[in-house]
């Protein structure tokens, strides 16, 4: 049985993952979130103090999901939870000798490709457009250094759009065709997490994590080949007049906090 520490265990992704792994009964879970509850330890990862660093003892893998998730966040909103927090999680993993960290990065790291024609691979140069995306890119690079220094695995998933609850795809979400191309179903997300825990040693790796959406530019072949990721879902973008209008609005916007993202960030996810 693998002992796994999940940060952000009470969030959208964490909550889905906890239910999935508890139902499977294959792993021993150690749960951490900022607020905590009867079965989730409370801790502020932006500060390496208190009792939460003790949770890394005896852990086989850390799934780091905690942090600020809004693309409209300003720098002061992401600096502590996403940058200091990730640094502290990696410190805890390093000091405890944890052999694998799985990191929730974001498709937002590649936001500048929206109106280009490039295929988006794990090796494509990052093009973040907002502080949230930059904070996740910094997390990836801290993970690269962590893997180089320790020899442990750091697997970063650039996660697509996955909403709370049933998470149905479609044109009524206010995110244009680009957002629809990045849809990630609940069961594909959960299967990818299963694969990340079961995979052979890989060192540092970046993976795009979306469902098998026909016509998308996101390259998921490395996840298929190296992890055994086998997405079961996919959705062709539905190009209604409203969706096309959203694309045109975004094309003309300056995609930084204070403009289009501030007005529409409630429709976006990790």
CB-side exposure of 63: number of CA atoms within 13 Å?
31
Dihedrals phi, psi of 106, to nearest 5 degrees = -150, 150
Instruction: Decide if pLDDT at 199 tops 90.
Output: yes
pTM exceeding the 0.85 threshold for the entire prediction? yes
Residue 151 has which token pair? 């020899």
**Confidence bin at 255 (pLDDT 50/70/90):** low
Cα angle at 193 between 191 and 199, to 5 degrees? 100
Per-residue model confidence as pLDDT tens digits over 226-241: 999 999 999 999 989 9
Gyration radius from the chain CA atoms: 18
Q: How far apart are the first and last CA of the chain?
A: 29
**Above 80 in pLDDT, residue 266?**
no
pLDDT at 248: 87
Q: Which of 12, 10, 5, 16 is nearest to 163 (CA)?
A: 12
Angle between helices 85-96 and 131-150 (to 10 degrees): 20
CA distance 179 to 173: 9
User: What's the confidence (pLDDT) of residue 235?
Assistant: 93
Q: Tens of pLDDT along 146-185? A: 999 999 999 999 999 999 999 999 888 788 899 999 999 9
pLDDT tens-place string over residues 65-89: 999 999 889 999 999 999 999 999 9
**Residue 207 phi/psi, 5° resolution?**
-135, 135
Q: pLDDT value at position 261? A: 43
Domains of the chain in start order, with CATH, are: 2-267 (3.40.50.720)
């Amino acid at each position: 049985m693998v002992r796994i520490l999940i940060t952000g265990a009470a969030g959208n992704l964490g909550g889905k993952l906890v239910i999935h792994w508890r139902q499977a009964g294959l792993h021993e879970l150690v749960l951490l979130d900022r607020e905590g509850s009867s079965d989730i330890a409370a801790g502020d990862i932006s500060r390496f103090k208190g009792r939460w660093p003790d949770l890394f003892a005896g852990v086989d893998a850390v799934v780091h999901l905690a942090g600020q998730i809004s693309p409209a966040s300003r720098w002061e909103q992401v600096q502590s939870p996403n940058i200091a927090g990730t640094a502290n999680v990696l410190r805890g993993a390093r000091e405890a000798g944890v052999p694998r960290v799985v990191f929730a990065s974001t498709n937002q790291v590649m936001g500048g490709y929206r109106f280009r024609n490039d295929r988006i691979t794990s090796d494509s140069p990052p093009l973040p457009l907002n502080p949230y995306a930059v904070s996740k890119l910094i997390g990836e690079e801290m993970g690269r250094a962590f893997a180089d220094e320790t020899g442990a695995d750091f697997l970063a998933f650039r996660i697509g759009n996955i909403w709370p609850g049933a998470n149905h795809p479609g044109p009524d979400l206010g995110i244009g065709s680009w957002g629809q191309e990045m849809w990630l179903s609940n069961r594909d997300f959960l299967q990818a997490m299963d694969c990340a825990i079961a995979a052979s040693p890989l060192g540092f790796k970046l993976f795009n994590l979306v469902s098998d959406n026909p016509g998308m530019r996101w390259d998921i072949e490395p996840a298929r080949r190296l992890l055994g990721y086998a997405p079961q879902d996919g959705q062709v973008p539905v190009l209604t007049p409203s969706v096309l209008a959203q694309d045109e609005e975004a094309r003309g916007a300056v995609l930084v906090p204070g403009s289009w993202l501030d007005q529409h960030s409630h429709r976006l996810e990790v």
